[in-house]
């Protein structure tokens, strides 16, 4: 569920550029300066990538954060990331200043103009064949982008920064352990995303669902499922659309509600109005959690919690609202200076 701005995409049939100096992908030998990249989360066959990439086009949220935290050179990113990052991650927003907007899917002319030596993407971000004519395109297997640990581990392997990921994982695990020690009882937690597009329950295999599971929290029966089980019951996976008539499925001991991030003034006005209408809904207000004031309206980072920093923002909300404490273990900054948060 991405709700990214749509850009009319026309393949550049006349794109005639020299292919990056990588060996044919049906061999296990790469040219000097390249290495054969294999990984359990890689989509497709092993491919040759730069041993030390210098100019990176990052078209996915966790890839972007990985590049910035590893202090690699970012040469371009998608328009929706330009729009959302100032709200979601103001601490890394300065890294996007002056960085070309490649649109979505990536405009191949812009991608070519920024001269990347490596392109990081998920399916749909860029035309794969044309992108590979510009620089090696690395994509993870579908689905792992919803799991911050898997996606950040994958991109660290691509960038050769496994030590950075190891620090992230250890820090997150320490904060999770601290949360579990602070929690009393075993509340059920409902995760609800709402916007002008509609309202949906976010199941266990969504990005915030994974953080909630890591924290040892249970979900209401209607949300405690993944994959085929969800498909069989609802005809959908991960994000289950609910109508006013089925809002009772959102009830739980604690309900976290959020929308997506935007810096577009017109979109922001529309989404703020949609949120106010949602809060005023009579069926919603009849839920036990609403009646008992156990509904928490949280930031849009819940929508995009597939990175180390964003997952920790979700965890901070769990601390504040479910334990009435804050974590004593700080999130690693990797040298970033936090900026004032933009109000969504």
Residue ranges making up the domain that contains 111: 34-139
Do residues 118 and 178 share a domain?
no
DSSP single-letter state for residue 56:
E
Q: What is the pLDDT of residue 22?
A: 44
- Examine residue 232 and state whether it is found in any structural domain, yes or no: yes
- Examine residue 222 and state whether it is found in any structural domain, yes or no: yes
Do residues 121 and 189 share a domain?
no
Q: What is the pLDDT of residue 336?
A: 83
- Examine residue 335 and state whether it is found in any structural domain, yes or no: no
Do residues 239 and 311 share a domain?
yes
State the Cα–Cα distance between residues 304 and 1, nearest whole angstrom.
10
- Examine residue 53 and state whether it is found in any structural domain, yes or no: yes
The domain tally of the chain equals 2
Q: What is the mean pLDDT of each run of 10 residues along the chain (344 residues)?
A: 35 40 58 97 96 96 96 96 96 96 97 98 96 97 94 98 97 98 96 97 98 98 97 96 95 98 95 96 97 98 97 98 96 73 37
Q: What is the pLDDT of residue 43?
A: 96
Q: What is the pLDDT of residue 180?
A: 98
DSSP assignment string, 256-285: EEE------HHHHHHHHHHHHHHHH-HHHH
Written as six digits, the tokens of 252 are 């739980």
Do residues 172 and 317 share a domain?
yes
Do residues 270 and 185 share a domain?
yes
Question: Taking a C-beta distance cutoff of 8 angstroms, is the pair 189, 253 a contact?
Answer: yes
Q: What is the pLDDT of residue 27?
A: 56
pLDDT digits (tens, 9 = 90+) for 110-153: 999 999 999 999 999 999 999 999 999 999 999 999 999 999 99
Do residues 122 and 230 share a domain?
no
The size of the chain, in residues, is: 344
Do residues 116 and 214 share a domain?
no
- Examine residue 157 and state whether it is found in any structural domain, yes or no: no
Q: What residues contact 12, with CB distance under 8 A and at least 6 apart?
A: 108, 109, 130
Residue closest to 130 by CA, chosen among 271, 22, 19: 19
pLDDT digits (tens, 9 = 90+) for 273-304: 999 999 999 999 999 999 999 999 999 999 99
What CATH number corresponds to the domain at position 300? 3.40.50.1980
Do residues 133 and 174 share a domain?
no
Written as six digits, the tokens of 150 are 């898997």
- Examine residue 223 and state whether it is found in any structural domain, yes or no: yes
Helix (H, G, I), strand (E, B) or coil at 34: strand
């Amino acid at each position: 569920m991405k709700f990214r701005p749509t850009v009319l995409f026309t393949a550049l049939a006349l794109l005639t550029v020299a292919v990056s100096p990588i060996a044919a992908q049906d061999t296990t030998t790469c040219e000097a300066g390249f290495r054969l990249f294999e990984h359990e989360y890689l989509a497709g066959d092993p491919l040759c990538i730069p041993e030390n990439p210098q100019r990176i086009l990052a078209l996915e949220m966790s890839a972007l954060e990985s590049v910035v935290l590893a202090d690699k050179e970012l040469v371009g990113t998608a328009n929706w990331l330009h729009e959302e990052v100032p709200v979601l991650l103001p601490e890394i927003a300065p890294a996007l200043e002056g960085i070309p907007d490649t649109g979505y899917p990536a405009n191949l002319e812009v991608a070519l103009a920024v001269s990347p030596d490596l392109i990081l993407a998920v399916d749909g971000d860029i035309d794969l064949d044309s992108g590979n004519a510009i620089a090696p395109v690395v994509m993870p297997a579908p689905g792992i982008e919803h799991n911050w640990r898997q996606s950040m581990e994958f991109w660290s392997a691509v960038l050769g920064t496994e030590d950075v990921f190891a620090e992230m994982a250890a820090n997150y695990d320490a904060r999770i352990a601290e949360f579990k020690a602070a929690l009393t009882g075993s509340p059920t937690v409902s995760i609800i995303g709402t916007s002008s597009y509609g309202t949906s329950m976010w199941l266990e295999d969504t990005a915030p669902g994974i953080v909630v599971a890591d924290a040892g929290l249970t979900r209401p029966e209607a949300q405690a499922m993944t994959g085929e089980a969800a498909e069989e019951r609802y005809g959908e996976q991960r994000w289950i659309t609910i109508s006013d008539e089925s809002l009772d499925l959102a009830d739980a001991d604690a309900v976290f509600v959020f929308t997506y991030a935007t810096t577009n003034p017109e979109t922001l006005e529309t989404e703020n109005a949609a949120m106010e209408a949602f809060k005023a809904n009579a069926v919603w207000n009849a839920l036990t959690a609403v009646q008992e004031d156990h509904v928490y309206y949280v930031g849009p980072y819940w929508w995009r919690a597939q990175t180390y920093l964003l997952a920790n923002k979700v965890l901070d909300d769990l601390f504040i609202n479910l334990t009435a404490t804050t974590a004593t273990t700080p999130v690693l900054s990797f040298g970033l200076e936090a900026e004032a948060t933009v109000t969504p």
